[in-house]
């Protein structure tokens, strides 16, 4: 069988997809990737329901590949086991443990499909193989060989693939970061040139904000890749950020829909290009992230190069700083406040403490009691006033803004964590997104 190597131009990380010669496949059959998240496979009853859904697609004559997450809670448990044994556990061994949940569900779903007389077989990341870099715990996909999967599809067999995992060039199992099964599904859809990548989850689509926090949230029929990318990157965990970037670059048609209700071809939310998006609203969605910690360095010397002295060592240690604000202090000194992931705060403080005498600052304060709220919309490009509405709305609720940052289609503010729900609801109303207001 001849191999067709496709290197995707402009692809970040240079992902290479190789697929077998597809001759012999019925040209009319649609190829569909169905991905099921943790709550959708949380026990045997749910797995049986998922098997029925897969059978329905397969019985319609589609070529179906399935990607599964671990049962909900299992990955958290695995992470905790590793952490309890050693908080600084070897990352490759950590991956060997945390990838195990998906191995279980892929096998179980293949068994459940067999019980419904649907031929199926499980695949682990290394069996495909789905190749990753060596950044264990948050590895990036470098290539996918679609050959074995396409062979299954041609034979009418449903491959049930363990999401979240791949293998690095040394043969070590690597995981793709929390929520990474979404990215597995998109990468596999690209490798199989699937017509659709359906992400089944516990909500029936992408909403104007997290429907578990704001009851008035409205489901969107469509959202642009760019907006979803921005929403995901500021905390909307309905899709992993990387999965959206990959779908955008590879032109994978992604749909988010519920595994808990009956669905049809029109269910859920489709992620589309900007020119396909029908409505041009100022603000499309609002997201929050509780994953931020705030660090303030006081009485820094107010001189050129000081920011490089502070942030250079943090970035050299692989720590990602997010929002930054600098303010003038007294006596030719300056204060610097920034945010960093909660999991990286301890390491960041350790590095900064070690640099205290070299940089010559006064004191260092941290707070984990903060939340970042972000409003996102492509309409912001051409309209002013979005920021003013945000600031005024939060001021009217008496909420103090600690840090502000903006990008072309996003405004984020850092506020006290206890105001998260109040702020989200007030902003949702202020931007006219509440149900019944025609969002
Ligand atoms: P899965 O286990 O299926 O991958 P996740 O828990 O990762 O599911 O993602 C689904 C959750 O994302 C929803 O239950 C919801 O609480 C949350 N969420 C956050 N923002 C949004 C949004 N804008 N639209 C829909 N869901 C959202
Ligand atoms: N099981 C993994 C996690 O909980 C991956 C996923 O569900 O997408 O993060
Ligand atoms: Mg998820």
Residue 423 lies in a domain: no
Residues 196 and 301 occupy one common structural domain:
no
Pocket test for ligand 1, best of 43, 176, 201 (most atoms within 8 A of CB): 201
Using the atom order of ligand 1, give the atom closest to the CA of residue 181. 4
How far apart are the C-alpha atoms of 18 and 3, rounded to whole Å? 7
- Please give the chain's pLDDT, 439 residues, in tens: 223 333 333 333 456 776 544 444 445 689 999 999 999 999 999 999 999 999 999 999 999 999 999 999 999 999 999 999 998 899 999 999 999 999 999 999 999 999 999 999 999 999 999 999 999 999 999 999 999 999 999 999 999 999 999 999 999 999 999 999 999 999 999 999 999 999 999 999 999 999 999 999 999 999 999 999 999 999 999 999 999 999 999 999 999 999 999 888 889 999 998 777 666 778 999 999 999 999 999 999 988 999 999 999 999 998 999 999 998 877 788 999 999 999 889 999 999 999 999 999 999 999 999 999 999 998 888 888 899 999 999 999 999 999 999 999 999 999 999 999 999 999 999 999 998 765 4
Tell me the CA–centroid distance for residue 74 and ligand 2, in Å. 9
Nearest CA to ligand 1 atom 10: 238
**Three-state secondary-structure class, residue 137:** coil
Tell me the CA–centroid distance for residue 58 and ligand 3, in Å. 24
- Domain residues for the domain of 67 are 11-202
End-to-end Cα distance, the chain: 51
Residues 23 and 149 occupy one common structural domain:
yes
CA 330, 331, 332, 335 dihedral sign is: negative
Residue 349 lies in a domain: yes
Tell me the CA–centroid distance for residue 239 and ligand 1, in Å. 7
Strand 196-201 and strand 158-162: pairing? unpaired
Residue linked to tokens 């690597």:
174
Residues 182 and 326 occupy one common structural domain:
no
Nearest CA to ligand 2 atom 4: 75
Q: Please list the alpha-helical segments (H only) found in 236-379.
A: 241-250, 306-316, 345-354
Tell me the CA–centroid distance for residue 236 and ligand 1, in Å. 7
Q: Which of 153, 179, 202 is the last residue of a domain?
A: 202
User: Ligand 2 in contact with 181 (CB < 6 A)?
Assistant: yes
How far apart are the C-alpha atoms of 394 and 427, rounded to whole Å? 8
Residue 288 lies in a domain: no
Q: Which ligand gives the minimal distance to the CA of 232?
A: 1
Residues with CB under 5 A from ligand 3 (ion): 37, 179
Cβ atoms of residues 245 and 188 within 8 Å: no
Predicted TM-score (pTM) of the model is 0.90
Residue 162 lies in a domain: yes
Cβ atoms of residues 29 and 62 within 8 Å: yes
- Residue 1 has a pLDDT of 28
Nearest CA to ligand 1 atom 25: 206
How far apart are the C-alpha atoms of 182 and 201, rounded to whole Å? 10
Beta bridge partner(s), residue 294: 339, 367
Q: Which of 367, 402, 419 is the last residue of a domain?
A: 367
Backbone torsions φ then ψ of 248, nearest 5 degrees: -65, -45
Residue linked to tokens 């959206």:
244
How far apart are the C-alpha atoms of 199 and 37, rounded to whole Å? 8
Tell me the CA–centroid distance for residue 277 and ligand 2, in Å. 29
Tell me the CA–centroid distance for residue 64 and ligand 1, in Å. 24
Q: Which two tokens stand for residue 285?
A: 């969605």
Q: Which of 367, 384, 415 is the last residue of a domain?
A: 367
Residues contacting ligand 1 via CB (< 6 Å)? 37-40, 69, 179, 201-203, 206-207, 209-212, 236-238, 285
Backbone torsions φ then ψ of 153, nearest 5 degrees: -60, -40
Give me the CATH number covering residue 321.
3.30.2130.10
User: Ligand 2 in contact with 125 (CB < 6 A)?
Assistant: no
Give me the CATH number covering residue 136.
3.40.1160.10
Return the H-helix or E-strand segment holding 179.
none
- Residue 277 has a pLDDT of 62
Beta bridge partner(s), residue 224: 272
Number of domains in the chain: 2
How far apart are the C-alpha atoms of 200 and 188, rounded to whole Å? 16
Those residues with Cβ within 8 angstroms of residue 298's Cβ, 6 or more apart along the chain or in another chain: 329, 333, 335, 361, 362, 363, 364, 365
Cβ atoms of residues 204 and 425 within 8 Å: no
Cβ atoms of residues 143 and 16 within 8 Å: yes
Residue 138 lies in a domain: yes
Tell me the CA–centroid distance for residue 240 and ligand 2, in Å. 10
**Three-state secondary-structure class, residue 109:** helix
Pocket test for ligand 2, best of 68, 69, 163 (most atoms within 8 A of CB): 69
- Residue 327 has a pLDDT of 87
């Amino acid at each position: 069988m001849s191999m067709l190597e496709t290197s995707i131009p402009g692809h970040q990380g240079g992902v290479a997809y190789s697929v077998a010669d597809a001759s012999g496949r019925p040209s009319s059959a649609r190829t569909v990737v169905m991905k099921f998240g943790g709550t959708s496979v949380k026990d045997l009853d749910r797995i049986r329901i998922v098997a029925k859904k897969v059978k329905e697609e397969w019985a319609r004559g589609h070529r179906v590949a399935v990607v599964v997450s671990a049962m909900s809670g299992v990955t958290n448990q695995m992470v905790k086991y590793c952490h309890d044994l050693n908080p600084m556990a070897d990352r490759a061994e950590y991956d060997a443990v945390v990838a195990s949940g998906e191995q279980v569900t892929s096998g179980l779903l293949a068994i459940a499909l067999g019980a419904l007389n649907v031929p199926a077989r499980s695949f682990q990341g290394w069996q495909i193989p789905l190749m990753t870099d060596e950044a264990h715990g948050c590895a990036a996909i470098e290539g996918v060989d679609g050959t074995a999967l396409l062979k299954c599809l041609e034979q009418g067999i449903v491959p049930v693939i363990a999401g979240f995992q791949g293998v690095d060039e040394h043969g070590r199992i690597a995981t793709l970061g929390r929520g990474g099964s979404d990215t597995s599904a998109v990468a596999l859809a690209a490798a199989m040139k699937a017509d659709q990548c359906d992400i089944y989850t516990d909500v029936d689509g992408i909403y104007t904000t997290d429907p578990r926090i704001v009851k008035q949230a409205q489901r969107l029929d469509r959202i642009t890749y760019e907006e979803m990318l921005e929403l995901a990157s500021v905390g909307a965990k309905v899709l992993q950020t990387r999965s959206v970037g990959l779908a955008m670059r590879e032109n994978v048609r992604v749909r988010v829909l519920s595994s808990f209700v009956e669905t049809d071809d029109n269910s859920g939310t489709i992620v589309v290009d900007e020119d396909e998006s029908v409505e041009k609203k100022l603000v499309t969605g609002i997201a929050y992230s509780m994953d931020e910690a705030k660090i303030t360095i006081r009485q820094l010397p107010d001189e050129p190069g000081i920011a490089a002295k502070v942030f250079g060592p943090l970035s050299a240690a692989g720590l990602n700083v997010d929002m930054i604000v600098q303010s003038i202090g007294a006596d030719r000194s300056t204060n610097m406040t920034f945010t960093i992931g909660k999991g990286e705060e301890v390491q960041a403080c350790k590095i900064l403490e070690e640099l205290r005498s070299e940089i010559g600052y006064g004191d260092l304060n941290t707070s984990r009691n903060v939340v970042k709220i972000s409003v996102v919309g492509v309409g912001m490009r051409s309209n002013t006033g979005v920021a003013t509405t945000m600031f005024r709305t939060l001021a009217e609720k008496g909420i103090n803004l600690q840090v502000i940052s903006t990008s072309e289609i996003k405004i984020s503010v850092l506020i006290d964590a206890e105001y998260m729900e109040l702020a989200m609801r007030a902003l949702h109303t202020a931007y006219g997104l509440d149900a019944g207001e025609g969002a």
